[in-house]
Structure 1
Amino acid sequence: MRRPPELHEYVCVAHVHSLHSDGTGTVAEIAQAAAQADVDVVLLTDHDTLAARDAGEERWWDRVLVLVGCEISPRGGNHYLAFGLERPIDPQARTIAEICSEVREQGGFGFAAHPASRGVPRLGPVARPMPFAELATAGADGVEVWSFVTDTVERLPGARSIPSFLARPAHWLEHPREEVLKEWDALGQHRRCPAIGGVDAHQVGLRVGRRVPVRLMAYRRSFRFLRTHVLTTEPLRGDLDRDRALIFDALREGRCFVATDCFGPTRGFRFWAERGEQTVAMGGEVRGNGWTLRAVAPRPALLRLLRDGAVVDQHWAPALARRIEGPGVWRVEAQLEVDGRPRTWVLTNPIYVRRDEPPGGE
């Protein structure tokens, strides 16, 4: 067995809001909360603004790197988590397809936010649906395949369960939505479509001066539950421009996995393809037959290998290996049993196995 590609792992929290939009924390407070939660990188996405970058707050805060994107927020849904922008984009003046196109024209990339959102009718306008309804046609580069707050709260059995969620979030955290996974797997059969997990952290509460005496869930606490582990080709070294490029390149390429670290540490999880001397990390695209897919976990788990969304192999072990033939969107899910129920622990980005091109590209 060959070793997995040599990569450097950093734990990110994605989809975070600050005082620059509708969060209650300063960027400095968010960076401090991230450090306390053992997070390496914060992907800040305030609504329709790059004010944090303009204020010089995109930088290293001691050991935490804060990178500034934005959540482009059309009314009623089709929100887009965009990174690498030169300037903000007016969400009301364009269709979502035009927004995705302009993000790329600026040299950026993005992820469709909480695509299956359906709201919580009993809570009224404060929890109205915010779906990304045009995922297959809008041209989004990737997808927020699991949204911690949106997906969990919207699946509660009723509004009376919200206090229980706030008291014990992990009790209600189980799996990403099947409808999102299904659409993501279908998109991957036609093009690469990287995925991330988002927190959608606002630290909802009341700020009074420099304090937030009333808050429903602190940043530090919400950063524990759903994270995106990013795998860079070189280590981060404290140079903002270089380190930003490394993180963004990994996100664009899908060299990352979504993890519920609250159920157990996932650092060191890897999924790759190998054939002869070739090795390709998750998010990569390969052609032809004869590839072996491998996954290794930091502890035994139910490792499930999926092809185009269907489970083709699963067993309880710290590693998985399977020689495959034929094309497909291949990815791995790892599950643990917590409180007597199976929970998704790791969700990898796929390895895309395509058919060999005919000679001459015909």
Structure 2
Amino acid sequence: MTTSELTCVVHVHSVYSDGTGTISEIAAAAARAGADAVLVTDHDRMGGLAHAGWHGDVLVAVGVEVSPSHGSHLLAFGTPAPVRHNGRALAQILDAVHEAGGVGFAAHPFSRGGWVLGRAGRAAPWGDLRVPYDGLEVWSLVTDTLEYLRSPRALLRFRRRPDEVLADPPAENLAAWDALGARRRVPAIGGLDAHQFGLRRRGRVLVRTMAYERTFALLRTHVLLDAPPTGDAAGDTARVYAAMAAGRAFIARDSLADATGFRFAGAGGTVAMGDEAPLPAGGLELVAQTPTACELRLLRDGEVIAADDGVADLRAHVDRPGVYRVSAHLVRHGRRRTWILGNPIYLR
């Protein structure tokens, strides 16, 4: 039974690769933004590992973004050192992550490229989503947003008022995730790809845009644990990684409203988010609950099969196999926006 929930900001870059913040600065930004944990993933480096652990009330976990030049970047969590990728096929990289005791999530796997970042904005999708990764970023906030902006004016508006520009994850991402789930479990996380772009000189950031604190408020992965953190950083970090790989997590736009307390499960706790189980004879009642009234949608294999608006509870009896997931939506800044994306329950 879930007894603890941590709000995590995932996929963050520091001074150890192409970010502009130190680990302590990033932890402080997370604390100001109200996040419980930061998952740092620098490109092919784990210099931040020496500073991992509890920084006050914020847990800093250090993984690595394995970054082959051809794309197919992988967020590796739980490895003691960076994973070599030169000359290795993607499946071999994943094998190395697993052999080192880690888990691997596909980073911005649906990247399409965009003009905003110039050469850095070249498409970097995953070449083969059939390999045995442990999960994926279904919503990579900075990457997906910058790739979809179509003009300098739109970019300026995003920098000034990001909550007004952000609405939904790309529909193509969700469709691909649903299709992948028909074949096997595919736990999803929301990644930021946060860098705090800018110029750092002599220990100070002189110029910055998309600051960590602001970005950390926009999209989070809420991780559900079976017990509260103990204060043992290594053990708490391992439990966060295990929960993500089990699909015991949901993605939320907490800047629209605090999503803490969202749950999606079978009635009576028969199945939980991330579970894969046979459909019981006679079917099963699925229950979604939110802390704030909203529009709730239950989807099977990507199609809405039940929905209600202005509610904080949605119940539906299902009697067909499928991949069932829930999304919650709120009207903010003049339009309906995705608030919560839950991981699926797989009924086979």
1:36 aligns with 32
1:331 aligns with 325
Distance 1:6 1:233 in 2: 4
1:78-93 mapped onto 2 (5 Å cutoff) = 78-93=72-87
Deviations 1:218-240 (A, max 9, x none): 11110000100000011002111
Pick closer, same or farther for the CA change 1:159–1:127 going to 2, 3 Å.
Answer: farther
Q: CA deviation at 1:161?
A: 1.9
Contact residue 50 and residue 87 of structure 1 kept, 8 A? yes
TM-score of the pair, normalised by structure 1: 0.92
1:209-358 mapped onto 2 (5 Å cutoff) = 209-274=202-267, 278-289=269-280, 290-316=283-309, 317-354=311-348
1:18 aligns with 14
Distance 1:329 1:107 in 2: 28
TM-score of the pair, normalised by structure 2: 0.96
2:178 aligns with 185
Q: CA deviation at 1:123?
A: 4.7
Q: How many residues align?
A: 345
Deviations 1:104-161 (A, max 9, x none): 12221111111121222365313222222322x2322111000110111111122332
2:163 aligns with 170
Contact residue 2 and residue 225 of structure 2 kept, 8 A? no
Contact residue 196 and residue 256 of structure 1 kept, 8 A? yes
Distance 2:149 2:259 in 1: 26
| One-letter identity of the residue aligned with 1:331 | R
2:4 aligns with 8
Contact residue 76 and residue 129 of structure 1 kept, 8 A? no
Distance 1:140 1:129 in 2: 20
Distance 1:271 1:7 in 2: 14
Deviations 1:33-56 (A, max 9, x none): 000000001011001112211xx2
Distance 1:122 1:292 in 2: 46
User: Secondary structure of 1:288's partner?
Assistant: coil
| One-letter identity of the residue aligned with 1:283 | G
Deviations 1:161-198 (A, max 9, x none): 21111111111111111222112112212211100000
Distance 2:21 2:10 in 1: 15
Q: Structure 1: which 5+ runs fail to align?
A: 355-362
Computed over aligned residues only, the root mean square deviation of the Cα atoms, in angstroms, reads: 1.3
Distance 1:57 1:93 in 2: 30
| One-letter identity of the residue aligned with 1:7 | T
1:119 aligns with 113
The runs of 4+ residues in structure 1 deviating greater than 3 Å are none
User: Secondary structure of 1:183's partner?
Assistant: helix
Identical aligned residues as a percent: 49
Deviations 1:50-73 (A, max 9, x none): 2211xx211100110001110000
2:100 aligns with 106
Q: Does 1:149 align with 2:145?
A: no
Distance 1:172 1:76 in 2: 30
Q: CA deviation at 1:278?
A: 4.6
Distance 1:67 1:144 in 2: 17
